[in-house]
Amino acid sequence: MTVTKLNFKNLRIEGSSRAADRSWYRIQPPGLAFDLGRGAQRLIGTDELFLSHGHLDHALGLPYVLSQRNLHGFGPCRLYCPRPIRRAVENFVEAAAALEEVEYRYQLRGLEAGERVELGHGWSVEPFAVDHVLPSLGYHLIQARRSLAPALRGLDGAELARRRRAGERIDHTEEHIEVSYCGDTAAGVFDLEPRLFEARVLLLECTFLGSELETKARQFGHLHVADLAAQADRFANEALVLTHLSRRHRLEELRQEVERRMPNLSPELIVFGEHPNRRQQGKRAQRG
């Protein structure tokens, strides 16, 4: 299994994704996983695990990761999933634990869209509604940053110190969506969660190409490249990372289709899984 690694200044994303086969992503900081694929060694030390839905190309690896954590002596991890599937996830995990005659160490919490999970150090995760055939969630990774209050910018250090001593609050906190991950979704997600277009890095599935597969995409709750083209002017992200491509298509076909249909796409286009040299060529083409 090839692992793709992406670097965005302070963010590192690694993972692997192909539709109906496996999808998992690890993001540092803060150190969390979105989905678990069929199980990956790289996820064993990850304490915060967010499951988007129950399809096994996203969820099958959960008991494997928990088992490996036991084997290597890790403490309890925190597992999050859509609230409607919480009981099924628990039964799935406990069945695997019974097979091994062990007790997995984890805390399981079911989430609804709009809830917050505070991770510490200014990081949090907020789930949002998506458009899929099973109960599903996407996730925003949010960072809170402190900065000088806009009204006080331009004042010298002595004046700021005086105001602080007088008890005045001189800073404020701004929240930034660093990563948005949609899991599996059809085109309804763009109306359900327009903040996707504001995320610094958008991890967005694009499963199908070719006009003959547009109906199939809608039927199975996935995105077709035509759905992205219809939103081309809305992408204000720093990077658009396309994932979850069907195995009937080649990665280079996805890039070619996006570049043909969306020649003026604003974000950097990254096809998850393509060779780093191809990504660099894509960057140069966009700049040119």
pLDDT bin (cut points 50, 70, 90) of residue 284 is very low
Residue 209 sits in a domain of what CATH number?
A: 3.60.15.10
Please say if the pLDDT value at position 287 is more than 60. Answer: no
What confidence category does residue 256 fall into, taking pLDDT thresholds of 50, 70 and 90? Answer: very high
Lowest-confidence segment of 16-20, 129-133, 156-160, 259-263 by average pLDDT:
156-160
Q: Please list, residue by residue across 263-278, b when 16 or more beta carbons sit within 10 angstroms of its beta carbon and e when fewer do.
A: eebbbbbbbbbbeeee
Checking if the pLDDT of 147 tops 80, the result is: no
231-249 pLDDT, tens per residue?
Answer: 999 999 999 999 999 999 9
Distance (Å, rounded) from C-alpha 225 to C-alpha 205? 9
What does the pLDDT average to over 145-158? 75
* Model pLDDT for residues 25-72, shown as the tens digit of each residue: 999 999 999 999 999 999 999 999 999 999 999 999 999 999 999 999
Q: Rg of the chain over CA atoms, in angstroms?
A: 21
Tell me, what's the pLDDT at 137?
98
Q: Residue 257 pLDDT more than 90?
A: yes
Q: Percent of the chain scored above 90 by pLDDT?
A: 84
Least confident segment among 81-95, 154-168, 195-209, 251-265: 154-168
Is residue 173 very low, low, confident or very high in pLDDT (cuts 50, 70, 90)?
Answer: confident
Q: Which two tokens stand for residue 213?
A: 């597969």
Question: 8: which 2 tokens?
Answer: 């965005």
Residue with the bigger pLDDT between 281 and 199: it is 199
Task: Provide CB contacts within 8 A for 243, sequence distance 6+.
Answer: 17, 23, 203, 204, 205, 206, 272, 273
Domain count, the chain: 1
pLDDT digits (tens, 9 = 90+) for 118-139: 999 999 999 999 999 999 999 9
For residue 242, the model assigns a pLDDT of 98
Question: What is the rounded distance in angstroms from the CA atom of residue 248 to the CA atom of residue 270?
Answer: 19
| Mean model confidence pLDDT for the chain | 93
Which has more pLDDT, 200 or 285? 200
Which one-letter DSSP state was computed for residue 237?
-
Helix (H, G, I), strand (E, B) or coil at 260: helix
The whole-model pTM stands at 0.91
Please give the residue range of the domain that contains residue 223.
Answer: 4-287
pLDDT of amino acid 170: 60
Q: Which secondary structure element, helix H or strand E, spans residue 68, and what is its range?
A: helix 62-71
Residue 30 preceded by cis peptide, ω within 30: yes
Q: Is the pLDDT of residue 282 over 70?
A: no
Residue-level pLDDT at 275: 82
Q: How far is CA 113 from the centre of its chain?
A: 15
- Beta pairing, strands 32-36 & 48-50: parallel
DSSP secondary structure of 75-122: --EEEEEEGGGHHHHHHHHHHHHHHHT----EEEEEE-TT--EEEETT
Q: 206 is written with which tokens?
A: 């694009």
